[in-house]
Amino acid sequence: MIMNNYHEPVLFDEVMSALNAQPGGVYADGTLGGGGHSSGILARLGGTGCLYGIDKDTDAIESAGERLGGASNVELIHGDFHAMRELLEARGVTKLDGALLDLGVSSHQLDTPERGFSYHDDAPLDMRMDASRGETAADILARMGDVELARIFRDYGEERWAERIAKVITQRRARSPVLTTLDLVACVDAAIPKAVRMSGEGHPARRVFQALRIAVNDELEPLEGALESIVGMLKPGGRLCVITFHSLEDRIVKRTFARLRKPCTCPPSFPVCVCGKKPSASGFGVKPISPSEDELIRNPRSRSAKLRVAERI
């Protein structure tokens, strides 16, 4: 049995309002987590319709199963939301009334030291959201050279000390492998000047851990295609709600939704569109929805969350 420490779902009221789940509808939660958002969707379905909950993490599947109480109109699927279309079509589902993606690492993953997501506890450097397959963070640190590692830290963590951190890691592993979270924290501390580490800008290893997690789980590269595919599954009026937690993924969501709203590639000088590309979605304004002051007090981890919504037309 998995202890349910997924905590409060972020932007719950805002997601429920934007998704506007209706009885009899078919919905997908592509990042099931502990089932917090899904429980709200199920309550609005009133025992009708169907909800498909998808997650790469088997802990999430088990925990959500306990939380959702074996409801007859929910099916939990072990898989990646990047392949949502394939996963649902295999179950005979080709159209959705709405879908939700809550991107990033869950509270359960952060609060389970042995998963290796947190820089506060000494644990194996794993970081896989699907612990049953793929390379761990330690595998990547052992395999890649300093140029490749620096690119990951720079591109996925926006880390300005990327090159120095990468060089310290490769020098350290020549003596002994970098296998644990605190091994990596020690490398970061050795690479970043003390004055910078003490500047109060958050934990000095935060950006490196974010970058490695993104690389381990291939979070960014397939995201744009997945968003477009999911919007393509929506019925007219159906909505895709996406919660992001850092600027890299938020920019991808913002850019993709903007392109789906205005896909025309004609030069601005053309008086009329001749490319023939038609909008497939409308938006809920340019600015994302942020947590309320009350939520920020209740749940400080929500401080960086942003909700963007696209509606199929």
CATH of the domain at 70: 3.40.50.150
Mean pLDDT of all residues in 9-20: 96
> Model confidence over 60-90: pLDDT tens digits?
999 999 999 889 999 999 999 999 999 999 9
pLDDT at residue 230 in the model: 98
> Model confidence over 250-308: pLDDT tens digits?
999 999 999 999 998 999 888 888 998 999 998 776 789 999 999 999 998 899 999 99
pLDDT at residue 253 in the model: 97
> Model confidence over 17-58: pLDDT tens digits?
999 999 999 999 999 999 999 999 999 999 999 999 999 999
Pairing type for strands 26-29 and 306-312 reads unpaired
Instruction: Name residues whose C-beta falls within 8 Å of residue 64's C-beta, 6 or more positions apart in sequence.
Output: 32, 33, 34, 35, 38, 53, 55, 76
Mean pLDDT of all residues in 154-161: 96
User: Does residue 255 lie in a domain region?
Assistant: yes
For residue 237, which amino acid is it? G
How far is the CA of 134 from the CAs of 90, 100, 153, 256, in angstroms?
Answer: 24, 25, 20, 28
> Model confidence over 176-225: pLDDT tens digits?
999 999 999 999 999 999 888 888 778 999 999 999 999 999 999 999 99
User: Does residue 2 lie in a domain region?
Assistant: no
Q: Of 217, 246, 271, which residue sits at a domain end?
A: 217
Q: Edge-to-edge strand order for the sheet containing 306-312? A: 74-78, 50-55, 26-29, 96-102, 234-244, 306-312, 281-283
pLDDT at residue 106 in the model: 82
User: Does residue 124 lie in a domain region?
Assistant: no
Indicate if the pLDDT at residue 5 is higher than 70: no
User: Does residue 3 lie in a domain region?
Assistant: no
**What does DSSP assign to residue 9?**
P
Give the structural domain span for 82: 12-104+220-312
The tally of domains found in the chain comes to 2
pLDDT at residue 201 in the model: 75
Give percent of the chain with pLDDT exceeding 70: 97
